[in-house]
Amino acid sequence: MGNGFVRATKPGDNELDREAGANVTDLTPFFAAEPYLRGDSDIVALMVLEHQVGMHNRLVQGALRVRKWMDYQRNLRRELGQPETDELEGTALRVVTSETERIVEHLLFCGEAPLPAGGLRGAGDFEAAFRANRRVDGQGRSLKDFDLTTRLFRWRCSYMIYSPAFEALPAVLKERVYRRLFEVLGAAEPPRAFAHLPAAEREAVKEILVATTLDARREGSTDSPPCSR
């Protein structure tokens, strides 16, 4: 769609041909590409960016909403002469629960659109650079491993779980995200929203997380080997 043009067929009626500009690998028909480092747009890089921005937005919004309502709860209890507590209740509890679910759903790629027949192919440079700092488990698996045949990543849990934005989540939210994440990954029958993840993949994701993050190790296991970074 980034290479598409809207044609005004008549006043108030605009038509966008979504196919005409899709998967363009040569941009020279549109403009002089010589001054730029590349003459194309890497669709793999753009899809990773789309996921990363979406994940980052959920992390930031979740953190802000939880901090706001936790502060509101403390102030309300103070005004009512009640002892202050970080124990969740009322609206604060509902906010943390809803933000936990929104974050976990995006972490596990709920609602991800399937790739077109034949998959995708990037230029290769981005994939190599992206994987340069991958964290691997004892079997060499990483959340930065691409699939590109039917979906974007081989193991569908976002690498953004390693990000500063995730690390900066309020403790109460991060703890609940990990708890919910391992509930889904360890369920015999996952909730409907997570039915796209087969049991073998959920087990692999759990093993990768336990091997590559300290918080996940505390939640899921205590005897996993350290990760390679």
Residue 120: predicted pLDDT? 87
108, 98, 89, 112: which is closest to 61 by C-alpha? 98
In a domain, 176, yes or no: yes
Residue 90: predicted pLDDT? 85
Residue 221: predicted pLDDT? 53
| pLDDT confidence tier of residue 4, bands split at 50, 70 and 90 | confident
Tell me: pLDDT of 14 over 50: yes
110-132 pLDDT tens trace:
999 999 888 988 888 999 999 99
36-92 pLDDT tens trace:
887 777 889 999 999 999 999 999 999 999 999 888 888 787 787 887 777 777 888
Residue 48: predicted pLDDT? 96
Q: Indicate the Cα dihedral angle 178, 181, 187, 191, nearest 10°.
A: 140
135-186 pLDDT tens trace:
999 999 999 999 999 999 999 999 999 999 999 999 999 999 999 999 999 9
Residue 1: predicted pLDDT? 62
Q: How far apart are CA 176 and CA 20, in angstroms?
A: 45
In a domain, 48, yes or no: yes
CA 18 from centre of chain? 25
Sign of the torsion angle spanned by Cα atoms 209, 211, 217, 221: positive
Q: What domain range is 102 assigned to?
A: 42-220
190-229 pLDDT tens trace:
999 999 999 999 999 999 999 998 777 776 654 444 444 4
Alpha helices in the chain, H assignment, sequence order: 43-79, 90-107, 125-130, 164-167, 171-186, 199-212, 214-220
In a domain, 159, yes or no: yes
In a domain, 145, yes or no: yes
> Number of structural domains, the chain?
1
Q: How far apart are CA 105 and CA 54, in angstroms?
A: 11
Q: How far apart are CA 74 and CA 86, in angstroms?
A: 8
Residue 226: predicted pLDDT? 41
Burial class (CB in 10 A: 0-12, 13-18, 19+), 175: middle
In a domain, 31, yes or no: no
Residue 152: predicted pLDDT? 97
In a domain, 9, yes or no: no
In a domain, 1, yes or no: no
In a domain, 102, yes or no: yes
